[in-house]
Every structure is written in structure tokens, then in C-alpha cells.
Amino acid sequence: MKSYRKELWFNTSKRVEFINITREVEQAVFESGVKEGLCLVNAMHITASVFINDDEPGLHQDYKEWLESLAPHKPLSRYKHNLTGEDNGDAHLKRQVMGREVVVAITEGRLDFGPWEQIFYGEFDGQRPKRVLIKIIGE
């Protein structure tokens, strides 16, 4: 069994931002040499997500507005978590809706994807350095 590990770093210019990381994950699969296996991609921070969906700007705007309606950023006093001095209570909730991680099959050395699947880093409390972990196992 082979295993491979890689980190991706991000420092977004906005508080909430989605970044397509499909090519970086494909590159990691290539580097791993794994032909058949599983690829885990997870946010290493608890106010960010990794998710799979469409690379369509209108949809991304829909996600941002919808998540803001489900868990508004303000008023900050809405969240007990913000009593710790943080202002990211909402980000911890948004991340649960969008998910921490994805697991993707690797088949014949490639991400085994449907026609529109793309992997995104979802940042909900950005403007600071944060990481994604890629872990690949297989043969």
C-alpha cells in the first residue's frame, strides 16, 4: 500500500471565499503514484470547508447568500462563541452545512469524477493563513 500527504495553503483576500482546488488535488494524485485508492481532502481549520459542486459563479453567490441567511455573521452577539473574543461564530455553523471533507475515488490514476464535479475550498473566516490536507492511500 502506498500513502501520500500534501498540504495546500490559503490566505484569502475576503472573509468568505470559494477556491477551486481540483487541479491541485489532481496534481497530488499524480505525485502519489497511486492508481487505485482513495483520496481524502479536508480543511484543517474548523471555520472552513472542502466540498464538491459546480464551478459556476452564480451558484457560489447563491451558496453565500443562503449560508448567510441560515447563520448570519451579525449581530456578533448572536453567538455565545463570540464571547471568547472571536467574531467567527457564524463561520463554525456555515462550515457544518458545507462539510469538512470529501473522499474521492482514484481509478486508473485519476480522480474518478462525474461530469461536473469540482473540489472547492470554502473559506468562512479568511484573511489569515489556513491549510487543506490531502491524504492518498492505495496502490
Q: Residues interacting with a second copy, by CB under 8 A? A: 1, 3, 5, 36-38, 40, 42-46, 51-54, 56-59, 61-63, 66, 70-71, 79-84, 89, 92-93, 95-105, 107, 112-117, 131, 133, 135, 137-139
CB of 126 to a second copy, least distance (A): 15
Q: How far apart are CA 77 and CA 83, in angstroms?
A: 8
At 85 the three-state DSSP class reads: coil
Identity of the residue, 15 or 117, whose beta carbon is nearer to a second copy in the bound complex: 117
Bridge-based pairing state of the strands 101-107 and 17-20: unpaired
Q: Judged by CB, which is closer to a second copy: 58, or 75?
A: 58
SS3 102: strand
Residue 27 or 107: which CB sits closer to a second copy?
107
d(CA 3, CA 40): 11
